[in-house]
């Protein structure tokens, strides 16, 4: 059986590489690597009927969509660091927004760095790694910069009132002797401005549209190089603030937008499991909102935020469409593999909460799709469990370059051929409730979560003492929204014992049998 499997994978890989070869005998496929900040599976290709995402859906029609894909941590820096190193957060010791993986794992070879070492010209633009922690070793040339935008351009305002308000507070900070650069930081004294604005302007008035224009020119340049390219483009929306042109807001009728049905805190959930909304309170128009256990947003606030999120998704969808069209225009689409992913999920009122930063399904479940020339028109969907650490080895195998033995994921290429075949028995995520995201009791906790086909089980430990302090169990078949923690009833003790053991055994024990 083992020999058969090896021969099958070799044959499949050979077929993929042969199909990706172009008429000019270019043997290696290009890679277009698209990261979208805070994008949950709120897309037409995931069965959503009200979101407008025709271009991403078009991408999905020529590839494979993973409907049960999970990030390793539902917050930007550890999620991206894990994906781009192919290593889990505990391995690289990156659990927060501050830690640079180069400080904890200086010799690690990242995904784009590995492609660079294997003959690719690698280029990055926008938010690929965490925005404040770019990695120069990954790229063949300096990261592209967009003139007129700050180093961290996620909160750029164009409405005159918002610009004036922001400038007034900047001057106040300077007068107090504080550094002007801190205005973009989230904190009591360093608030951003409002959580959304609606400006009647072209796409390039905001960073994502402007960087798309630069990216289109770069793709043309890269397509004329002898080397294949690995081009990574990181979009900031739909991250807060929801600042996108008016025409994308106009795509939706606010009063018709469906709202979350489970707008309440999960029953019997421990306090540290709930997001404290510190991110949303970083905006002036939401700075007085309560912790989810104390209250929730009113309907007007809820509809406005969800409207802004959907408009932001459609704005990014339009940018993705421009990239796809450019590849086709240059006739390199038949030799380019596209992977699109959102770095974690995002709550839109579910669990009376907003943003990310929990171990729940709504935060850890992510969009992930590969569009490849050999799958054109096939529109494959796989419901098998897959993790972000699997992207690195999958792209390596698709491109025909060696897969590093140190990686903690596996290539998902067999699912391209047979999307329903037996696969991973579990996916693993974790989240550190620390710093400004600390639990209501002021203690820092790490939550380790295992997601099987039937259950999600989470263990919360005191981060200092390592003492187990709380557990959660959710029945994915009876309660897919994870509204009731069933860890308490005696009849579930055997399930908890079994899942706790699997959590301790870790990812290797959850790999496919063959």
Catalytic site positions: 76, 130
Residue 184 CA, distance from chain mean position: 21
Residue 126 has phi, psi (to 5 degrees) of 80, -155
Rg of the chain (C-alpha set): 22
Q: What is the Cα–Cα distance from 511 to 410, expressed in whole angstroms?
A: 8
Handedness of CA 188, 192, 196, 197 (dihedral sign): positive
Residue 341 CA, distance from chain mean position: 6
Burial degree of 107 (CB within 10 A; 0-12, 13-18, 19+): exposed
- C-alpha atoms less than 13 angstroms from C-alpha of 296 in its C-beta half-sphere: 19
Task: State the pairing for strand pair 336-342/30-36.
Answer: parallel
Count the Cβ atoms, other than its own, within 10 Å of residue 447: 24
Q: What is the Cα–Cα distance from 165 to 161, expressed in whole angstroms?
A: 6
Distances (CA, A) of 287 to 76, 239, 244: 22, 17, 21
426, 451 contact by CB (below 8 A): yes
Tokens matching residue 150:
């700050």
What 246-250 contacts at long range (C-beta under 8 Å, 24+ apart), as own/partner pairs, is 246/198, 246/199, 246/200, 246/201, 247/200, 248/311, 248/312, 248/314, 248/315, 248/318, 249/198, 249/307, 249/308, 249/311
Q: What is the Cα–Cα distance from 421 to 310, expressed in whole angstroms?
A: 34
Tokens matching residue 9:
């994978």
Print the SS3 string covering 235-270. Answer: ECCCCCCEEEEHHHHCCCCHHHCCCCCCCCCCECCC
Q: What is the Cα–Cα distance from 272 to 442, expressed in whole angstroms?
A: 10
Q: What is the Cα–Cα distance from 278 to 301, expressed in whole angstroms?
A: 16
Residue 129 CA, distance from chain mean position: 11
126, 237 contact by CB (below 8 A): no
Strands (DSSP E) found in 71-138: 121-126
């Amino acid at each position: 059986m083992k020999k058969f499997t090896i021969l099958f994978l070799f044959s499949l890989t050979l077929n993929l590489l042969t199909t990706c070869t172009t008429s000019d005998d270019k043997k290696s496929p290009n890679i277009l690597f698209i990261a979208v900040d805070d994008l949950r599976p709120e897309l037409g290709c995931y069965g959503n009927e009200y979101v407008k995402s025709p271009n991403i859906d078009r991408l999905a029609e020529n590839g494979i969509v993973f409907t049960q894909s999970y990030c390793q941590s539902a917050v930007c820096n550890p999620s991206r660091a894990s994906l781009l190193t192919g290593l889990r957060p505990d391995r690289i010791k990156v659990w927060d927004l501050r830690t640079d993986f180069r400080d904890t794992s200086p010799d690690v070879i990242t995904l784009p760095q590995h492609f660079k070492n294997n003959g690719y010209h690698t280029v990055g633009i926008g938010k690929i790694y965490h925005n404040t922690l770019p990695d120069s070793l990954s790229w063949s040339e300096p990261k592209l910069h967009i003139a007129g935008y700050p180093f961290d351009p996620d909160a750029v305002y164009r409405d005159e009132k918002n610009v004036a308000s922001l400038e007034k507070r900047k001057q106040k900070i300077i007068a107090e002797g504080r550094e002007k650069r801190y205005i973009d930081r989230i904190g009591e004294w360093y608030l951003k401005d409002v959580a959304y604005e609606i400006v009647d302007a072209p796409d390039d008035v905001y960073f994502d549209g402007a960087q798309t224009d630069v990216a289109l020119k770069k793709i043309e340049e890269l397509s004329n190089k002898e080397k294949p390219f690995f081009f990574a483009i990181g979009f900031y929306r739909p991250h807060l603030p929801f600042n996108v042109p008016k025409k994308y807001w106009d795509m939706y009728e606010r009063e018709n937008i469906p709202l979350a049905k489970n707008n309440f805190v999960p029953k019997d959930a421990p306090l540290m499991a709930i997001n404290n909304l510190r991110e949303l309170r970083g905006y002036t128009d939401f700075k007085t909102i309560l912790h989810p256990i104390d209250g929730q947003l009113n309907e007007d606030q809820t509809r406005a935020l969800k409207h802004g999120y959907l408009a932001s998704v459609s704005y990014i969808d339009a940018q993705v469409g421009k990239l796809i069209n450019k590849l086709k225009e240059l006739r390199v689409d038949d030799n380019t593999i596209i992977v699109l992913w959102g770095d974690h999920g995002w709550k839109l009122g579910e669990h009376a909460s907003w943003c990310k930063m929990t171990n729940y399904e709504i935060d850890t479940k992510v969009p992930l799709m590969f569009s490849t020339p050999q799958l054109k028109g096939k529109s494959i969907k796989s419901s098998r469990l897959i993790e972000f650490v699997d992207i690195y080895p999958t792209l390596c195998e698709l491109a025909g370059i060696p897969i590093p033995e140190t990686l903690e994921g596996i290539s998902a290429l067999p699912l391209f051929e047979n999307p329903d075949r037996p696969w991973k028995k579990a996916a693993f995520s974790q989240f550190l409730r620390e710093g400004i995201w600390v639990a209501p009791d002021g203690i820092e906790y790490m939550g380790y979560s295992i997601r099987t086909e039937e259950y999600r089980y989470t263990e919360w430990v005191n981060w200092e003492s390592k003492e187990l302090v709380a557990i959660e169990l959710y029945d994915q078949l009876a309660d897919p929204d994870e509204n009731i923690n069933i860890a308490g009833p005696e009849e579930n003790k055997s399930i908890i014992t079994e899942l706790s053991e699997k959590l301790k055994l870790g990812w290797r024990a959850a790999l496919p049998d063959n």
